[in-house]
Copies of this chain bind each other. A is one copy, B any other.
Amino acid sequence: SPVREVLFFPSRVTCVESLLAEEEEAAAAATPCACLLPHGESALGRLLARVLSARRSLDLCVFAFSNPQLGRAVCLLHQRGVHVRVVTDTDYMALKGSRIGELRRAGIQVRHDQDSGYMHHKFAIIDKKMLITGSLNWTTQAIQNNRENLLVVEDRDCVNLFLAEFERIWEDYNPT
């Protein structure tokens, strides 16, 4: 099915360090991690693995972004040469814990809404081919405490409709 995966939250808290380990650290990461968190599967781990599978592009359109692990994943992709673009909501961007400043300092292109309404989408498009969308904001509160869902979709028509929506928003929020 083009619906590749469904993730429900809250996610149990697990260690995701091995997913976030850079290649130079891969040997180190292969040795068992000594931290006190469980090291099995989790919804956050599954989401991180999908995001980190990007090889060419990540187009991210998310109302609220404060989760540190997802912030590290997006910065890692940028360091690896993946073309990352981020759209977010102005109101949330200013709140404590937002990752948006960190992304900008890393050199990632970020645009934010100029509208009176909220930019309330929560979707990511990986390599123009895979859509991750649902109710989940990229916040630790949502991941660990809320009832949330995400779909991973590889239907071409559906992904193209979301890509077109991303491009519309990207242009609408062009500050120049």
Contacts and interface: CB of A to CB of B under 8 A. Distances in A.
Interface of A: 1-3, 6, 8, 10, 63, 113, 115-123, 133-136, 141-142, 144-149, 151, 153, 155, 157-158, 161-162, 165, 169
A147 B3 contact: no
Top 7 A-B residue pairs of the complex, sorted by shortest distance between their CB atoms: A117-B145, A117-B146, A3-B158, A120-B146, A118-B146, A6-B161, A3-B155
A87 to B, nearest CB: 9
A161 B3 CA distance: 12
A10 B157 contact: no
Q: How many copies does the complex hold?
A: 2
Nearest to A116: B145
Q: Which of A2, A3, A115, A133 has the most CB of B within 10 A?
A: A3
A149 B135 contact: no
A152 to B, nearest CB: 10
Q: Which of A6, A119, A144 has the most CB of B within 10 A?
A: A6
Contact of A141 (B117, B133, B136): B117
B145 A118 contact: yes
Contacts of A161: 6, 8
Contacts of A158: 1, 3, 6, 151
A8 B165 contact: yes
A121 B133 contact: no
Contacts of A162: 6, 149
A121 B7 CA distance: 12
B135 A147 contact: no
Contacts of A133: 134-135, 149, 151
